[in-house]
Amino acid sequence: MTKSSNKMSDDSTKTRMDEDLVSYITSTCSVSSSEHEKTRYNESSSFLQRCMRHGYKSSTSLLESRYGRLQKGKIGRGAYAHVRLIIANHHHHYRHHKHHSLTNNNKIKTTISKQVYAVKIFKKQKQKESHGNYMKRLISEYCIASSMHHPNIITTLDLVTNASGQYCIVMEYCSGGDLYQAIKKDQLTESKMNSYFKQLLLGLDYLHSLGVAHRDIKPENLLLDDDGRTLKITDFGVADVFCETWQKHSRLSDGFCGSLAFIAPEVFSILQRRNYSFHNHGYQATKVDVWSAAIVYCCMWLKGTLFNSAEKSDPHYRTFLKAYYSRSFTPLAALSEHARSFIYLMLDPEPDQRISIPQVLSIPFIMDIDCSL
């Protein structure tokens, strides 16, 4: 077989793979059943189909032609991607904000500020990763993130490619930084910590109501708006759809993911059980989010995590387990009495007994928190 025929065969195989991926995209993007969101999913599927069939390289950057010029420097980075800013151009699709102010002559002066977006730029496919798995991971994140419409969840706007052929997710930009930076500054008041915590719970409650669990809740994935009042959940790279819209019962999630200090004990346990059993054990992903949210609250109060990991090999976690039922874990003594009561409920080592997000929100102390402060 000639080199040309080999290439044709490879291209046809890749096209079939991509068509299968588009079908996967359409079936995966079913978190919500609204007609508006179905239209968005169909549009994203059409875009991806065109994008994959024409290849990664393009003479024109869809990202920059549609949104503007990428700014220098990275504002965030992770294992699979980094984040940069882009300032919107004068294209009529995108919003510009008008600000009115008085001049010295009491005349109204109008200035227009361009919209700034955050762009998550994905690293190119690794050699060891198949094209299908790479696209599945990327598309799952986009489909889940773009279906979320809640004041405490980051707004995901678009999926495009740049001039280098990298896939990019365009999101709203929160100029207040992340909660990790706010904790490091050590300027959080008790009312502000409680407000952020309740907003985190409200965002998770919305996610869980749609059958989605985040699975990587940590201060770095909680962004603040420009005035520092509103908290928004971001980064759905390892989020899991545990219950489709047409299903009556949820399924157990699988896979080890998250950041060590925020991972629930049952996620570590699943790895240990696999070593001794051929059966596939899973965990309730919503309860994993509950655990992580409690650790975030403790981080705000204690300026650090309770233990390195919720494993019995960790001496601090062993101390926590011994003190759990007597409610005598020393680090938690720094919390208020009300806070200690619900934090212990959220950090129950047994996931079946651990309180749920709706139950936490129904606690009178949480209900009375004013998020407008």
User: CA 264, CA 154: separation in Å to the nearest integer?
Assistant: 24
Asked if 52 and 151 sit in the same domain, the reply is: yes
- Summarised one tens digit per residue, pLDDT across range 186-198 is 989 999 999 999 9
Strand pairing partners for 122?
81
Is the pLDDT at 154 greater than 90? The verdict is yes
Residue range 60-75: mean pLDDT, rounded: 82
Residue range 44-52: mean pLDDT, rounded: 43
Which of 155, 172, 189 is at the close of a domain? 172
254-278 exposure pattern, b = at least 16 Cβ within 10 A, e = fewer = eeebbbebbbbbbbbbbeeeeeeee
Lookup result for tokens 């809640």 = 150
What confidence score (pLDDT) does residue 100 get?
Answer: 41
- Summarised one tens digit per residue, pLDDT across range 316-355 is 999 999 999 999 999 999 999 999 999 999 999 999 999 9
- In the residue annotation, 216 being an active-site residue is answered as yes
Asked if 183 and 163 sit in the same domain, the reply is: no
User: CA 285, CA 144: separation in Å to the nearest integer?
Assistant: 15
CA-to-CA dists, residue 299 to 13, 225, 292, 319, angstroms: 49, 20, 10, 18
Asked if 100 and 203 sit in the same domain, the reply is: no
Higher pLDDT, 24 or 101: 24
What confidence score (pLDDT) does residue 105 get?
Answer: 54
Residues 6 or more apart from 1 whose CB is under 8 A from it? 9
- Summarised one tens digit per residue, pLDDT across range 247-283 is 777 899 988 999 999 999 999 987 766 554 445 579 9
CATH assignment of the domain containing 55:
3.30.200.20
Q: Where are the beta strands (DSSP E) in 178-301?
A: 212-213, 222-224, 231-233, 240-241
Asked if 338 and 202 sit in the same domain, the reply is: yes
> By residue range, what is the domain housing residue 128?
13-172
In a domain, 93, yes or no: yes
Asked if 161 and 213 sit in the same domain, the reply is: no
Is the pLDDT at 66 greater than 90? The verdict is no
Among 216, 240, 289, 348, which one carries the catalytic annotation? Answer: 216
Asked if 98 and 160 sit in the same domain, the reply is: yes
Asked if 162 and 67 sit in the same domain, the reply is: yes
Q: DSSP secondary-structure letter at 237?
A: T
What confidence score (pLDDT) does residue 41 get?
Answer: 45
- 223 contacts 174 by C-beta, under 8 angstroms: yes
- 144 contacts 212 by C-beta, under 8 angstroms: yes
CA contacts within 13 A on the Cβ side of 166: 16
Which of 157, 172, 187 is at the close of a domain? 172
Asked if 332 and 191 sit in the same domain, the reply is: yes
Q: Which of 232, 220, 230, 206 has its CA nearest to residue 259?
A: 220
Asked if 122 and 260 sit in the same domain, the reply is: no
User: CA 296, CA 216: separation in Å to the nearest integer?
Assistant: 11
> pTM higher than 0.75, yes or no?
yes
Asked if 17 and 165 sit in the same domain, the reply is: yes
Which of 138, 172, 206 is at the close of a domain? 172
| Percent of residues, the chain, with pLDDT higher than 90 | 57
User: CA 285, CA 289: separation in Å to the nearest integer?
Assistant: 6
User: CA 314, CA 343: separation in Å to the nearest integer?
Assistant: 20
What confidence score (pLDDT) does residue 165 get?
Answer: 87
In a domain, 108, yes or no: yes
Is the pLDDT at 227 greater than 70? The verdict is yes
Asked if 227 and 306 sit in the same domain, the reply is: yes
In a domain, 42, yes or no: yes
Is the pLDDT at 35 greater than 70? The verdict is no
Lookup result for tokens 């004041």 = 151
User: CA 284, CA 3: separation in Å to the nearest integer?
Assistant: 50
CATH assignment of the domain containing 267:
1.10.510.10
Asked if 117 and 134 sit in the same domain, the reply is: yes
| Percent of residues, the chain, with pLDDT higher than 70 | 74
